[in-house]
């Protein structure tokens, strides 16, 4: 058996990290959360387990809460202000750590305005296309949200239920 000695590069060995906002509201006495669906061709026909809180990656030059607010604005077009409740971070199977804050608020999902990203599509076509980072946002009751959200983020919903004392 042989091993290849690769130089250690902290940029490549550090797991990625994201920060996001779990926006919630009470509608007719029911706890609801805002989830976003990723845009682009890979997620076009995916639903259950594909939704997420608005979030994105950040590095050591940015505070996690500042990154969460920035990502929320980039993905939804809305600024979020108020009393942020820090949640325990969750770690995805990939090793990525997600820092998140819950905040009560409301927004009209029909007015979501996401930023765009470019990628080659179709693959190996040489054609670059632009896609919205998120293609839709919706309010869900907790039980539906538990089915829609990426399973690695389920712990964020569970924490919110405990904090708000709703089921």
Q: What is the spatial distance between Cα 138 and Cα 127, in angstroms, rounded to a whole number?
A: 31
pLDDT at 13: 53
Q: What's the CA gap between 82 and 76, in Å, rounded?
A: 17
Question: How many angstroms separate the CA atoms of 116 and 40, rounded?
Answer: 9
Other C-beta atoms lying within 10 Å of the C-beta of residue 142? 18
Token reading at 126: 């040489």
Strand, helix or coil for residue 155: helix
Q: According to the model, what pLDDT value does residue 45 have?
A: 79
- Provide the pLDDT for residue 49: 81
Q: How do residues 1-15 score in pLDDT, each as one tens digit?
A: 444 444 454 444 556
Q: What is the pTM of this model?
A: 0.87
Query: pLDDT at position 4, please?
Result: 47
DSSP secondary structure code for residue 58 in this structure = -
Tens-digit pLDDT profile for residues 91-143? 998 899 999 999 999 999 999 999 999 999 889 999 999 999 999 999 999 99
Q: Identify which of 93, 135, 143 has the alpha carbon closest to the alpha carbon of residue 115.
A: 135
Rounded-to-integer distance, Cα 125 and Cα 59, Å: 32
Give the pLDDT of residue 46: 83
Residue 122 CB-density burial (10 A; 0-12 exposed, 13-18 middle, 19+ buried): exposed
CATH topology of domain 16-164: Nucleoside Triphosphate Pyrophosphohydrolase (3.90.79)
Residues 11-31: what's their mean pLDDT?
A: 86
């Amino acid at each position: 058996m042989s091993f290849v000695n690769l130089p250690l590069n902290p940029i490549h060995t550090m797991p990625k990290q994201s920060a996001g906002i779990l926006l919630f509201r009470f509608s007719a006495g029911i706890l609801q959360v805002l989830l976003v669906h990723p845009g682009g061709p890979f997620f076009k026909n995916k639903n259950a387990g594909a939704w997420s809180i608005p979030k994105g990656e950040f590095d050591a030059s940015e505070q996690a809460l500042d990154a969460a607010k920035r990502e929320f604005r980039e993905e939804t077009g809305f600024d979020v202000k108020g009393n942020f409740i820090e949640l325990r971070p969750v770690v995805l199977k990939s090793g990525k750590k997600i820092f998140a804050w819950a905040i009560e608020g409301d927004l009209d999902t029909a007015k979501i305005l996401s930023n765009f990203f470019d990628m080659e599509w179709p693959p190996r076509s040489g054609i670059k296309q632009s896609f919205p980072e998120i293609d839709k946002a919706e309010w869900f009751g907790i039980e539906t949200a538990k089915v829609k959200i990426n399973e690695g983020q389920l712990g964020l919903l569970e924490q919110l239920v405990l904090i708000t004392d709703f089921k």
